[in-house]
A and B are shown apart, each in its own frame.
Chain A
Amino acid sequence: MSETLAILPPGHSVASFMAVVREFQAVIGVDNVVVDADRLAPYGKIMIPDEADLHAPAGALTPGSTEDVQKIMAICNRAKVPVWPISTGKNFGYGTAAPVMRGTVVLDLRRMNRVLEFDPVLGTVIVEPGCTYRILKDYLEAHNQPFWIDIPGPGPLVGPVGQALERGMGYSPYGDHFGNACGFEVVLADGQLLHTGNSSIPGSNTFATTRYGYGPHLSGIFSQSNYGVVTKMGLWLMPKPEAYKPFLVVFPNHEDVVKAVDIFQQLKLHNIIKNTPIVGHLLYQIAQREVRAKVFSGTGSVPDAWVSDYAAKNRMGVWACPAALYGTKEQVAADWARVKQAFRGTGATILTDLLLHADKGWQHIKRQLAGELDLDEFALYNWRGGGGSAWFGVTAQARGAEASRIVTLAKGIMKEFDMDFMGGFVVQAREMTAVFDLLYDRTDPAEMAKAYACYAKLLAEFAKIGIGVYRTNIGFMDAAAETQGLVRMEVNKRIKQALDPNGIIAPGKSGIRL
């Protein structure tokens, strides 16, 4: 086996690492310790425009319980072997399962995939990190429970714990995934077990119900961080609404993004629309239907004029925003009247399920808004082919003018590197998140270099105007951290020093390392 150990944790020899591997095997069994190259290779597969070799793991461990994780952490802490915890490891476009630092051992929690508790009165579940949305949905359906789940784009493959910890977003009124998580069980670097909220009190039953409890609110420091390994999480579920009315608002022109964001922001602020509306650019929809080479013969980025032409020929809008109303029949009827009033005279068109029923893309959106699972969104990767994807997402004030400023800056940079502008704005009452997917051919070194340069410039230029990312990939975590300044970085580091003095948990995550 030692001959296949091409990659080692920093500071380790083959002999010293093999000694640790044997300790891992004694704890979780030989089959759950992966160090041979051909089984390890899939853990190092990435879609981001960075060299996979820089992020190649030294091994992967698949523990089956919290106790296993505690024992592993105790070994790692003593032997100074760094680990990269993943829940399902499908962080597509952000690094998938690969670590920031080469030689880190992936701690793959996918075998810990149970729904541990469900409370039908309080609408809570407690799940393990490997529990996917598919497992959760099947559980609720098998128990005939009237609750909906909120899902991200990759739907059935990923799970609530990873989504919440990365602060991902969904589509229903429960689309703030971290905001609807309550209660974390965390294995610390020395193997100790922490429960957040008041659930550290013996006999407490408030794990999934009480977010704050007494003292500092600790839950937040375990998201997008490397301060512990989350092994259980509570999640709040949305009761199935009596009435559900999905609809699509379509805007014909590029500059309409201003009014689209402004109107949806007001509808959110006044709680008319309760879900997470996404003002999306047409190219994102086109990319899920077409292969780029078949529909676009030009060079460089797809220009606005081409998008306008496609929109006109296919009777689509340049910007479109799916949204839905949820509640009692009376509430939905009242809210629907307010929605129609809000868009009257704006040039926008409101399309309902009745009109859109036959459209495949709409069927996918309608499923998403109701927490139904599919893999339709993966069609995006057929647009250019070659398996390259890097999500760039920034947070800003929810104003139309701000959206316009973001579009102008992003498009200009993307055009410079021949990238297509595709994505949109997740509009909340006060904040919005702009998310764009840089799709490129990862098998083409020149295209990968352009995608890397484009991402780097986007990060730098947006920071210059005070707009920061909400999340980034494993290749840009240091750069993103630097945009937040020295004080913020130093505080992150001090917390790391206190909780993980040997720096063994996910070194480099969010730019935090000792």
Chain B
Amino acid sequence: MTSRRNFLKGSAALTAATGIVGGWEMLRGRSHVLVISSHHNAATARSLVAQMFGNHKIRHVPEHEDRENPLRTAIDHLRQPGNTLVAMPSPALHVLLGMAIRDTGARLVEERHHATHPLFIARS
């Protein structure tokens, strides 16, 4: 289980890295988190979210050069109630994931552009 200390540590690190403050609060206690990131951002995405949830609660889908697989995975994930999607995708996949959120009726919790990549959170 993720301790409050780890959560705060992760949250602070993520806030520092991304500038996001509020959105991450709602992630705590959610049992199914899907993290999608570009190959470039994989290590950052994994480590930051792992600090908050523990690795056993996270499923990470790398983007690499394929966009259809992570898109389908995100749609399947968001079709289940109570799930969370954290994405640090390439700009190209970002466009597509935005559509996945709309098509599944999910809620866009937070969306920011951070340095070279967009970052956003959605929940179903």
Which residues of A are interface residues toward B (Cβ below 8 A)? Answer: 31, 34, 36, 38-39, 41-43, 45, 47, 89-90, 92, 97, 110, 156-157, 374-376, 378-382, 384-387, 443
Segment touching A, from B6-14, B52-60, B94-102? B94-102
Q: Given A38-B108, A97-B102, A386-B113, output 5 extra A-B contacts at Cβ < 8 Å.
A: A42-B98, A156-B68, A375-B67, A380-B92, A387-B91
Q: Which A residues are in CB contact (< 8 Å) with B102?
A: 42-43, 45, 89, 97
- Complex-state Cα separation, A374 to B109, whole angstroms: 29
- Give the residue of B93, B98, B99, B107 whose beta carbon is less than 8 angstroms from that of A38: B107
- CB pair A39 B105 closer than 8 Å: yes
Residues of A with C-beta under 8 A to B98? 42, 45
Residues of A within 8 A of B93 (CB): 378
Q: State in angstroms the CA–CA spacing of A97 and B102 once bound together.
A: 10
B78–chain A nearest beta-carbon distance, Å: 11
B100 CB to nearest chain A CB (Å) = 9
**What CA separation (Å) do A322 and B93 show in the bound complex?**
26
Name 7 A/B residue pairs within 8 A (Cβ), A-sorted: A157-B99, A376-B67, A378-B96, A380-B92, A381-B95, A382-B90, A387-B118
A410 → chain B, closest Cβ, in Å?
A: 24
- Which 7 residue pairs across A and B have the least CB separation, nearest first? A42-B102, A38-B107, A375-B67, A378-B92, A443-B113, A385-B91, A381-B92
Count of chain B residues with a beta carbon within 8 Å of a chain A beta carbon: 24
Q: Which B positions have Cβ atoms within 8 angstroms of A?
A: 67-68, 71, 90-96, 98-99, 101-103, 105-109, 113, 116-118
A382 to B90, CA, bound (A): 7
Residue from B98, B99, B109 whose CB has the most chain A CB atoms within 10 Å: B99
Partner of B67, one of A110, A378, A385: A378
What residues on B are CB-neighbors of A382 within 8 Å?
A: 90-92
Residues of B within 8 Å of A380, CB to CB, are: 92
Q: Contact: B91 with A386, CB < 8 Å?
A: yes
Interface pair B94/A387, CB less than 8 Å apart: yes
Min CB–CB distance B103 → chain A (angstroms) = 6
Given A375-B67, A375-B68, A110-B103 contact (CB < 8 Å): yes
CB-nearest residue of chain B to A443: B113
Q: Is the pair A38, B109 in contact by a Cβ cutoff of 8 Å? A: yes
| Chain A residue at smallest Cβ distance from B67 | A375
Asked if B92 and A374 make an inter-chain contact with CB atoms under 8 angstroms apart, the answer reads no
A42→B95 contact, CB < 8 A: no
User: Measured between C-beta atoms, what is the minimum distance from A415 to chain B in Å?
Assistant: 24
List B contacts of A378 (CB < 8 A).
67, 92-93, 95-96
In angstroms, how far is the closest chain A Cβ from the Cβ of B114? 10
The residues of A that contact B105 with a CB separation of less than 8 Å are 31, 34, 39
Q: How far is the CB of B24 from chain A (nearest CB, A)?
A: 15
Q: In chain B, what residue has the closest Cβ to A97? A: B102
A42 partner, pick from B67, B68, B99, B116, beta carbons under 8 A: B99
Distance in Å: Cβ of A378 to nearest Cβ of chain B: 4
Residue of B nearest to A41 (CB): B108
Residues of B within 8 A of A385 (CB): 91, 116-117
A33 to B96 CA separation, bound complex (whole angstroms): 23
B115 CB to nearest A CB, Å: 10
When C-beta atoms are compared, the residue in chain A nearest to B99 turns out to be A90
What residue in chain A is nearest B111 (Cβ atoms)? A41
For B71, what are the chain A residues with a Cβ–Cβ distance below 8 Å?
Answer: 375
Which chain A residue lies CB-closest to B69?
A375
In the bound complex, how far is the Cα of B105 from the Cα of A156, in angstroms?
19
**Are B96 and A375 neighbours in the complex by a CB distance under 8 Å?**
yes
Residue in A closest to B98 when the chains form the complex, CB atoms: A45
- Chain A residues in 8 Å Cβ range of B117: 385
**B66–chain A nearest beta-carbon distance, Å:** 8
Interface centre among A156, A380, A381 (most CB of B within 10 A): A381
B101 adjacent to A42 (CB under 8 Å): yes
A128 to chain B, nearest CB (A): 15
User: A92 near B95 (CB under 8 angstroms)?
Assistant: yes
A47 to B118: give the CA distance in the assembly, Å.
14
Cα of A233 to Cα of B71 in the assembled complex, Å? 28
B94 — nearest CB in chain A belongs to which residue? A387
- The answer to whether A47 and B95 touch (CB under 8 A), given A39-B107, A110-B103, A374-B68, is yes
Cβ–Cβ < 8 Å partners of B109 in chain A? 38
- CB proximity of A355 to chain B, nearest CB, Å: 23
* B95 near A387: Cβ-Cβ < 8 Å: yes
Could you tell me if B91 and A381 are in contact, using CB atoms closer than 8 angstroms?
yes
In the docked arrangement, what's the CA distance between A38 and B68, Å? Answer: 25
Give the docked Cα–Cα distance between A374 and B108 (Å).
Answer: 26
Best-buried of B67, B68, B93 by chain A (most CB within 10 Å):
B68
